[in-house]
Amino acid sequence: MEESSAPTSKKGAKKAEAKAKKEALKAQRAAERAAAQVADIDLEDDPAKDNYGRATSPTFTPDTPVVELSSLDDSYDGKTVVVRAWLQNSRIQSAKMGFVELRKGGNWTIQGVVMATISGTGAETQLPAEGTPLVSRRMVKWTTAINPESFVAVEATVKRPLEPVKSCRISGLELHITKCFVLAPAPAVLGMTMAVANQPVVNFSDETPSAGDADKAKEPEAAAESGTPAASMLTHLDNIAMHKRAPVQQAIADIRVEVKKLFRSYLEERRFKEFEPPCLIGAASEGGANVFKLAYFGQEAYLAQSPQFYKQFEIAGGRERVFGIGPVFRAENSNTPRHMTEFTGLDLEMEITHSYTEVLHTLEGVLLHILRTVQERCADEIETVRAVYPSEKILLPEPGKEVRLTFAEAQKLLREEGPAEFRDVRDDEDMSTPQEKALGAVVREKYKTDFYVIDKFPETARPFYAKLDDSGATVGDGVRVTNAFDFFIRGQEILSGGQRINDPEELEARIRAKGVDPESAGIKEYLTVFRQVGVPPHGGGGIGLDRVVAWLLALPSVHLAAGYPRTPKRLLP
């Protein structure tokens, strides 16, 4: 079902927009002033001049270890280290002392202190005792005027601060900087500051603003509730590096990597083998209209809208149990928080020994393993995301208490316990998105889980390759049910799967019954494979990686879970 992505936090945005504008302007002026001051500094006669400046290959004290912020701990107290990081903030306390905040590895931050050891100026200059590093007042001024988001390398002594530094993740240590070099400067004015980048995105519309509104769209908007400056997805994507640098996006990206890893490792431990389906195909694979066409040496080619046929070719080819992780393309003009024109599919297909429930249980097993383990392995990252996008912890069923409803049972539940508007939902018609969401709320309340399965979909809601239930069971006006299911997280679909037809005659009959020509390009070759060899009973499923990540974290849009979201109106960056 189509639904439009309505901008969130519209109300109140105007009022706070003025505040945001004022703040942005203030920040810009301060940055320009600081940049001008730095330009004025003559480093030549500074005794500490070799200890700071712009450098591509700076010199540090020999044998000083380069340390990642994430590995700094109390064992470094008193030691000298080199740290490479982004400078995200700075302030000058006095002519002799300043502070910087360094960030690296997602959201690892630490306070740096830069304190002059050389006193006096000009003829009055007094150098410190032999062996003390040279830090001049000019170095203090220069260091604290570095533009935020510049990449720096510092040499520093690790010390315990007098008081814990609450603003930094590493609060129990600080860096006493004795050398500071800018390896890559950021401009004086950023397109989006870190403070804005790490706020929730306030509007997911891809509409390009009209000429008059273009500048407005790029300015920080405002999160109506807090009044804190925040920006639209458009602004985030136009500032892709800052979008990605924000700790919240770093955490989402790390969780995504972990989900993929867990999918692969769980299946490999159960005899599944990875395969790679093609993305370029010669015919619209499932006969649908939602495929991207492209020119291909005088012919037409298409981008695969699913690896479905190829997963089945693997089974026909004797690969027994396969999985694939790769891009899937959909030429659907669906401008919703759930859809993208390119997403990542986690797919599997397996032989069936006795029943299609083997497939259902394998898919349930892999997803519950992912959802449980990711919460242990990515506890910090999940907290980082929650701090920006608050959410309730996902409820998962106890082992052995998984919720599996038939489609008819789910519709009954919705009729009886859902909102009044769904009193008349039918057992032989597919669910709409609002129905799915309402059912999610009912299931959560009744079964205390955000993860559940709906099985036995009516054949009207499934593609031609879905195997009909052998018992001949029907719903509604005599519609047969299939051995096919969908999985849901928080009332939103994340997986479609089921048993596939493996008998060529049955398959051809279903293809015809669905109004598809069995002789049409792609379908003919698909059907031929089942005639060429005996294909064992099999089934599988396709999971949308982006949706798993997004709904696990209860993000407002799947676009936040993708590195570079592709939508009908957006192909860049």
Q: Which region, judged by CB under 6 A, interacts with ligand ATP, from 65-73, 318-326, 492-500, 517-525?
A: 492-500
| 508 is a catalytic site residue | no
Q: Which helix (H) or strand (E) holds 111?
A: strand 108-115
Two tokens, residue 439: 């059912």
Asked if residues 104 and 69 have their Cβ atoms less than 8 Å apart, the reply is yes
C-alpha distances out from residue 106 to 323, 332, 341, 380, Å: 30, 34, 28, 11
Q: Which of 103, 256, 321, 547 is an active site residue? A: 547
Shortest spacing between CB 208 and ligand ATP, in angstroms = 21
Say which of 339, 500, 559, 570 is annotated catalytic. 339
Number of residues that bind ligand ATP (CB under 6 A): 15
- Burial class, 57, CB count within 10 angstroms (exposed 0-12 / middle 13-18 / buried 19+): exposed
- As measured in angstroms, the least distance from the Cβ of 4 to ligand ATP is 15
Closest CA to 259 of 545, 555, 563, 573: 545
- Could you tell me if 450 and 367 are in contact, meaning their C-beta atoms sit under 8 angstroms apart? no
| Nearer CB in complex with ligand ATP: 537/542 | 542
Q: Which of residues 105-124 bind ligand ATP (CB under 6 A)?
A: none
Among 345, 390, 364, smallest CA distance to 485 is for 364
Q: At its nearest, how many Å lie between ligand ATP and the CB of residue 368?
A: 16
Shortest separation between residue 25's beta carbon and ligand ATP, angstroms: 39
362 Cβ neighbours under 8 A, 6+ residues apart? 270, 348, 350
Least distance (Å) between residue 497 CB and ligand ATP: 8
Give catalytic status of residue 339 as yes or no.
Answer: yes
Q: Return the number of the residue (149 or 546) whose C-beta is nearest ligand ATP.
A: 546
Residues 23/133, Cβ–Cβ less than 8 Å: no
Q: What is 518-564 written as a DSSP string?
A: TTSTTHHHHHHHHHHSPPPPEEEEEEEHHHHHHHHTT-S-GGGTSSS
Q: Does 495 bind ligand ATP (CB under 6 A)?
A: yes
Q: Is 174 a catalytic residue?
A: no
- Which tokens go with 267? 């299946």
Which parts of 509-568 interact with ligand ATP (CB under 6 A)?
542-544, 546-547, 558
Tell me the HSE value of 365 on the side-chain side, using a 13 A CA sphere.
Answer: 14
> Considering 207, 258, 320, 332, which one is annotated as catalytic?
332
- 231, 466, 494, 555: which one binds ligand ATP (CB under 6 A): 494
User: Residue 544 Cβ, how far from ligand ATP at the closest point, in Å?
Assistant: 2
With CA atoms as reference, report the closest residue to 451 among 377, 372, 512, 374. 372
> Quick one: 136 or 496, whose CB is closer to ligand ATP?
496
Name which position in 285, 483, 496, 567 contacts ligand ATP (CB under 6 A). 496
Handedness of CA 512, 517, 523, 529 (dihedral sign): positive
Query: Whose CB is nearest to ligand ATP?
Result: 544
Give yes or no: 547 in active site: yes
Nearer to ligand ATP, 246 or 558 (CB): 558
**30's tokens:** 């301060």
Is the Cβ–Cβ distance between 562 and 546 less than 8 Å? yes
33 is known as an active-site residue: no
Per-residue x/- mask for ligand ATP, residues 320 to 359, rule CB under 6 A?
----------x-------xxx--x----------------
Q: How far is the CB of 546 from ligand ATP (least distance, A)?
A: 5
- Please say which residue, 46 or 546, places its beta carbon nearer to ligand ATP: 546
| 510 catalytic residue (yes or no) | no
Catalytic residue status for 330: yes
Torsion of CA 317, 319, 321, 326, to 10 degrees: -80
Of these residues, 221, 493, 538, 559, which one is catalytic?
493
Judged by the rule CB under 6 A, the positions of this chain that interact with ligand ATP are 330, 338-340, 343, 493-496, 542-544, 546-547, 558
Catalytic residue annotation:
330, 332, 338-339, 493, 496, 547
